Chains A and B, each alone.
Chain A
Amino acid sequence: QVQLVESGGGLVKPGGSLRLSCAASGFTFSACYMTWIRQAPGKGLEWVSYISNTGSATYYADSVMGRFTISRDNAKNSLYLEMNSLRAEDTAVYYCARDNGGAAAAVWGQGTLVTVSS
């Protein structure tokens, strides 16, 4: 079945870096555009970044522009989010999601928690 499994979260100090991964299975990963969405503790959902199916197009929220980089490896069925210069306000559960029906975020992973604290 369709599955997305995020990993790589953890505790990091302000200014530090972290790389999140999302392993996809059960569908043709290279045909789907992918999205990262986050949710701060007790808060709502915030879109973070998008990547097209080939990786040729990427978009970012203003809050992470210049600090985060989205990428993918279609041969490995994997999506990544490289996060640098992390701030306390980046603390959140990070979800990866795939499109379906020509629209975003049809299927979500279980999320991975990133905590930025000294």
Chain B
Amino acid sequence: DVVMTQSPLSLPVTLGQPASISCRSSQSLVHSDGNTYLQWFQQRPGQSPRRLIYKASNRDSGVPDRFSGSGSGTDFTLKISRVEAEDVGVYYCMQTTHWPWTFGQGTKVEIK
């Protein structure tokens, strides 16, 4: 199985400051069709997860442009350019290139 390793697991941030979460996979996530199926999700306290980014760098509709995804191969990053209070929650990466699909452990973002 592809192991997804996120870091850090806990991320205290100051409002208005940038934040960055890393996600590394144990195998390349480049699919035979040429796409890289790496998604990022946000789960606010008490809510269902919400997809933010798909195929590594595509922002979902309605997602603020302060969120961006980048990376390739086995190394990916989710960046928040300026953290707002509503960004508090747990963030997960997920690969859907290889079966079985797998998630990272999650990174908890909190305000300092």
Contacts and interface: CB of A to CB of B under 8 A. Distances in A.
Interface of A: 35, 37, 44-47, 50, 59-62, 95, 100-111
B50 A44 contact: no
Interface string B72-109: 00000000000000000010101010011111111000
A111 B96 contact: no
A110 B100 contact: no
B77 to A, nearest CB: 18
B29 to A, nearest CB: 12
Contacts, number: 67
Interface of B: 1, 35, 37, 39, 41, 43, 48-51, 54-55, 58, 60, 90, 92, 94, 96, 99-106
Given A103-B39, A103-B54, A104-B94, A47 B103 contact: yes
A43 B41 CA distance: 15
Contacts of A111: 48
8 contacts: A44-B103, A44-B105, A44-B106, A47-B101, A102-B35, A102-B54, A103-B58, A108-B49
